[in-house]
Amino acid sequence: MKEERVKVIRVATPMRSVAQRIAFLLLLGAAIGLLMLGRTDPRIFEQARMALIDSTAPVLNVLSRPMATVSELVQEIRESASLRETNAVLKAENARLLQWQHAARTLLAENDRLRTLLNFAGDDAARSVTGRVIGDSSGPFLRSLLVNAGMRDGVRRGHAAVSGAGLLGRVASTGEKSARVLLISDLNSRIPVLVEHSRARAVLAGDNSRRPRLTFVSANADVMVGSRIVTSGHGGMFPSGLPIGMVAEIGDAGIRIETFATSDRLEFVRLVDYGLNGVIGGAETVARGVDPNR
């Protein structure tokens, strides 16, 4: 058996080599023939090619479906990656928006507090009118403000002018739609005050500077830099306890007060009627010929 198999292999090997050469020559001749046929009659060659394509189209269609599926899968992967990037961007933007929301809430609370301070009043029972500052008539010899609230709004001479920080001054004159506020720094302003911690009495006198002076202070009064100054309530001009300022300087120029309320960048003023006639009310009553003590 083994010898027969060896004989068969010896005979088949030359025959297989001859068959491969013949197949190569046939394929080469077919290729040359097709090339010559395409040169001589391109239409026949095109028809043959289209017939071959038509015959293989079903196979190509079947084979193309997996490729389309792979393409769709690749597209979904790309879209998924894009969605992840978009999601990361949206998360970062959401975090920034939350920070802005927190800042907005903080500012809103601060705004409410400032509005409350702007409507400052030392007496809950006092009646008040809030007016907008429409002019600053301050000059070398006058320190005052113009407010767009007047007699038609119930504003009268002597009403206190306050801001959220404290006392600004008093209403010196009124019109129907406006009023002039004399600031506590004006040369004509004199206000009875107290040193808050020692209850020492004094008079705050304006001299048209940014820091009015504390006058008529007792020699043994306990006054130091940083002492708070408030209204005393004497004279019936203002109620007691309205904050005015703080002692900023004690020297040869006297005791100077840094006021809490300033007219710089002031937009609104509250004009408060504490129901006190005081010196102004008494003067007006006497001017009309009526005894203020009746």
Which domain range does residue 275 map to?
Answer: 127-287
Asked if residues 171 and 149 have their Cβ atoms less than 8 Å apart, the reply is: no
135 and 215 within one domain? yes
- 18, 41, 64 — which closes off a domain? 64
262 and 160 within one domain? yes
In a domain? residue 122: no
137 and 52 within one domain? no
131 and 55 within one domain? no
248 and 161 within one domain? yes
147 and 59 within one domain? no
**SS3 track for the chain:** CHHHHHHHHHHHHHHHHHHHHHHHHHHHHHHHHHHHHHHHCHHHHHHHHHHHHHHHHHHHHHHHHHHHHHHHHHHHHHHHHHHHHHHHHHHHHHHHHHHHHHHHHHHHHHHHHHHHHHCCCCCCCCEEEEEEEEEECCECCECEEEECCCHHHCCCCCCEEECCCCEEEEEEEECCCCEEEEECCCCCCEEEEEECCCCEEEEEECCCCCCCEEECCCCCCCCCCCCEEEECCHHHCCCCCCEEEEEEEEECCEEEEEECCCCCCCCEEEEEECCCCHHHHHHHHHHCCCCCCC
- Give the pLDDT of residue 292: 35
Number of domains in the chain: 2
- 64, 79, 107 — which closes off a domain? 64
> If DSSP codes are grouped into helix, strand and coil, which group holds residue 198?
coil
Q: Which amino acid is at 44?
A: I
258 and 182 within one domain? yes
- 28, 44, 64 — which closes off a domain? 64
54 and 145 within one domain? no
Burial of 167 (0-12, 13-18, 19+ CB in 10 A): buried
In a domain? residue 33: yes
In a domain? residue 283: yes
**Residue written as token pair 């002597």:** 158
In a domain? residue 293: no
Report, in angstroms and rounded to the nearest whole number, the Rg of the chain calculated over CA atoms.
51
Residues whose CB falls within 8 Å of the CB of residue 148, separated by 6 or more in sequence, listed in order: 131, 132, 134, 177, 178
Q: Of 272, 258, 208, nearest to 228 (Cα)?
A: 258
In a domain? residue 119: no
262 and 185 within one domain? yes
**Residue written as token pair 């990656």:** 81
Q: Of 178, 183, 188, nearest to 155 (Cα)?
A: 178
Measured in residues, the chain has a length of: 294
In a domain? residue 114: no
CATH number at residue 227: 2.40.10.340
131 and 264 within one domain? yes
135 and 11 within one domain? no
In a domain? residue 261: yes
252 and 176 within one domain? yes
Mean pLDDT by 10 residues, the chain (294 residues): 61 70 78 69 67 65 59 77 86 86 81 62 66 75 83 90 88 89 90 90 89 87 88 86 90 87 82 72 39 36
In a domain? residue 121: no
